[in-house]
Amino acid sequence: MTAGENLTIAVPRGALMGETLDLLERLDVDVAEVRSNERKLLFAESRIVTMRPSDVPTYVERGAADIGITGKDVLLEQSEREVYELLDLGYGRCRMIVAAREGDDAMGESLRRLGTVRVATKYPRVAAAHFGATGRQAEIVEVKGSVELAPLTGLADAIVDLTATGRTLDENRLEEREEIVVCTARLIANPVVHKLKAAALDSLVERMREATCA
């Protein structure tokens, strides 16, 4: 970050990285080295550290980074993390949904016959909370890889996952049944840093808000 702010930022690799670096450039942060070196993770001069989006809250909570950017889906799944969510950055928009096989009602049949539905997901906490809030008992099956495979093989009746365009669902003959939440990139901060560097953080949030609205 800028010398005046003196903040170390955790930048997510993957789908959010490009737009995050674009945002930092609009804040006059030099990200050329980050763009040109895909393997390097720590950039001391620009105070940037790059990592998987799911690791950002851990690094920020523990103080290894002062602030970070990650998706709302990560924050919902890791709700126990002691971090402050400061700003909805607006980009990286996708939706957390429930989806099932086209042309059948496996979810409904399981609920009627067994009183429970089997749901495969990378987001077990989000899935459990959603089905619990809607009064349905669910057996949550956590998977790490392609969750779309679960209904096709009979592992689960439905999935809870992110979708942006719906293309992956179509390609696997799945269809959306319910929307849980809309997710975008969020700026988070370490609680201690939030107090000790309040002026710097306030300035950064205002600049980011202006940059994302421009």
β-bridge partners, 177: none
Residue range 9-92+184-213 in CATH 3.40.190.10: yes
Give pLDDT, residue 75. 98
Please return the burial class of 180, using the count of CB atoms within 10 Å of its CB with bins 0-12, 13-18 and 19+. buried
Cα separation, 107 vs 51, whole angstroms: 36
pLDDT in tens, 147-162: 999 999 999 999 999 9
pLDDT, averaged across the chain: 93
Model confidence at 3: pLDDT above 50: no
pLDDT in tens, 48-61: 999 999 999 999 99
CA neighbor of 105 nearest in space, from 113, 96, 94, 93? 113
* Confidence class for position 172, pLDDT limits 50, 70, 90: very high
| DSSP codes joined into one string, the chain | --TTT---EEEE-STTHHHHHHHHHHTT---HHHHH-SS--EETTTTEEEE-GGGHHHHHHTTSSSEEEEEHHHHHHTTTS--EEEEE---S-EEEEEEEETT--HHHHHHHHHS-EEEEES-HHHHHHHHHHTT--EEEEE-SS-TTHHHHHTS-SEEEEEESSSHHHHHTTEEEEEEEEEE-EEEEE-HHHHHHTHHHHHHHHHHHHHHHH-
* Domain limits, CATH 3.40.190.10, in the chain: 9-92+184-213, 94-183
Q: How far is CA 106 from CA 40, 116, 127, 128, 137, in A?
A: 46, 11, 17, 18, 14
Proportion of the chain above pLDDT 90, given as a percent: 88
Proportion of the chain above pLDDT 70, given as a percent: 97
CA neighbor of 174 nearest in space, from 116, 74, 100? 100
Model pTM?
0.92
pLDDT in tens, 116-148: 999 999 999 999 999 999 999 999 999 998 999
Q: How far apart are the first and last CA of the chain?
A: 20
pLDDT in tens, 14-46: 999 999 999 999 999 999 999 998 888 889 888
β-bridge partners, 87: 187
Q: Which pair of structure tokens corresponds to residue 214?
A: 């421009």
Residue range 94-183 in CATH 3.40.190.10: yes
CA neighbor of 187 nearest in space, from 3, 58, 5, 10? 10
Model confidence at 6: pLDDT above 60: yes
Residue 19 contacts residue 91 (beta carbons within 8 Å):
yes
Cα separation, 145 vs 96, whole angstroms: 17
